[in-house]
Structure formats: structure tokens, C-alpha cells
């Protein structure tokens, strides 16, 4: 099964907004779609959260500004990363200098079960190009460092495809 592109998710969001009885502007739909990980279920969950915020703060109308503010409150960043995703990246980059680090060690560092990290956070982080799995463990990509506002330095844990130093 393929992931949806943002244009397809915007269609889903407009339909769902109609069902929920919320006014969704095109730019608000684009903002939510861009943070939905290519998944309609996540798009609809984010829409419901943004709707709740909009009902209290914006007379029930969702435009880009309202969507951004709501998603900031719910800790969903511009790539669609949530608290767990960012915790994994922070641990990998800041605590383990980019890796490699084993799944169990990484899970302990973020206070989650290894299965949760592996099944919930990792698939999207890998697909987004922020994390790679190597024979020696998980490694933060340069994109992960940059997303966290950091610059990878020499000896940052960056490995080649086979788990060795480039």
C-alpha cells in the first residue's frame, strides 16, 4: 500500500471537515496534509485536534495560521514528527552522538518499550530519511542533525551503508 501525497490528503481532509461541520480553508488543509505522514488516518486525527483548537480559539474556522498554532500546541512539527519521534532523534543525536545505538538502549533513553520505538517511531523516521538501521544499530542521518538544528561533526556516528565509517 502506498502513502498518499499531500494533494490527495487535502481532498480527504475537506471531506472529513464537511462531516465534522468545520470550515477548513485550502491553506489550512495543506498545512495539516503536509504533517500527516502520507496517512489519511493521521490526517483525520490531526484535523479533529485542530478542530478542537479552532472551536476555542478561532470561531471554528481553520486556516494555515490556526492549523500551525494548533499543531504547535499538539507538538506536531512541520515534518509531522511528534513527541516520541523527536525524543528518539534527540536521544540518538545528543546522547549517542548520532549512533550507532541498539534498539533496547534507544528505547530506554526515551522511556518507551523497544516494540513501541521499532513499530511506531522508526518506520516514519526511516521513510523521512532521518534514521537508518545498520547491522551495528540505529544511526541518525545528516537530515536528522539538521532537523534538530545541529551540524554533524567528525566522529558524529555517521556510518556508511554497511555500518562502517565512511
What are the pLDDT digits (tens) for 80-127?
898 899 999 999 998 898 889 999 999 999 999 998 988 888 888 998
Fold of the 83-147 domain: Arc Repressor Mutant, subunit A (1.10.10)
Structural contact between residues 129 and 123, judged by C-beta atoms closer than 8 angstroms:
no
Q: Which CATH architecture has domain 6-73?
A: Orthogonal Bundle (1.10)
Confidence of residue 154 (pLDDT cuts 50, 70, 90): low
- Tens of pLDDT, residue by residue over 13-47, are 999 999 998 999 999 999 999 999 888 999 999 99
Structural contact between residues 135 and 159, judged by C-beta atoms closer than 8 angstroms:
no
Measured distance between the N- and C-terminal CA atoms of the chain, rounded to whole angstroms: 34
Q: In which residue are the cell numbers 537508518 written? A: 132
Q: Say whether pLDDT at 8 is over 80.
A: yes
CA distance 101 to 139: 7
So what's the pLDDT on residue 14?
A: 95
Coil/strand/helix, residue 101:
strand
Length of the chain: 166
Q: Is the dihedral of CA 73, 78, 80, 86 positive or negative?
A: negative
The radius of gyration of the chain from alpha carbons, rounded to an integer in Å, stands at 18
Rounded to 10 deg, the angle between the 26-34 and 6-20 helix axes is 120
Element (H, E) at 137: strand 137-140
Coil/strand/helix, residue 131:
strand
So what's the pLDDT on residue 153?
A: 65
What are the residue boundaries of the structural domains of the chain, listed by start?
6-73, 83-147
CB-count exposure of residue 149 (10 Å: 0-12, 13-18, 19+): exposed
Amino acid at each position: 500500500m502506498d502513502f498518499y501525497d499531500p494533494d490527495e490528503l487535502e481532498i480527504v481532509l475537506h471531506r472529513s471537515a464537511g462531516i465534522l461541520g468545520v470550515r477548513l480553508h485550502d491553506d489550512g488543509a495543506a498545512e495539516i496534509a503536509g504533517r500527516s505522514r502520507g496517512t489519511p488516518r493521521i490526517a483525520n486525527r490531526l484535523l479533529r485536534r485542530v478542530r478542537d483548537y479552532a472551536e476555542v480559539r478561532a470561531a471554528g474556522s481553520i486556516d494555515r495560521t490556526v492549523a500551525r498554532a494548533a499543531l504547535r500546541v499538539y507538538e506536531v512539527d512541520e515534518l509531522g514528527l511528534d513527541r516520541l519521534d523527536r525524543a528518539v532523534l534527540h536521544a540518538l543525536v545528543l546522547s549517542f552522538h548520532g549512533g550507532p545505538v541498539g534498539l533496547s538502549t534507544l528505547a530506554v533513553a526515551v522511556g518507551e518499550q523497544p516494540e513501541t520505538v521499532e513499530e511506531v517511531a522508526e518506520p516514519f523516521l526511516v521513510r523521512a530519511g532521518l534514521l537508518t538501521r545498520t547491522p551495528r544499530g540505529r544511526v541518525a542521518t545528516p537530515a536528522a542533525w539538521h532537523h534538530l538544528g545541529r551540524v554533524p561533526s567528525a566522529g558524529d556516528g555517521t556510518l556508511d551503508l554497511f555500518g562502517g565509517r565512511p
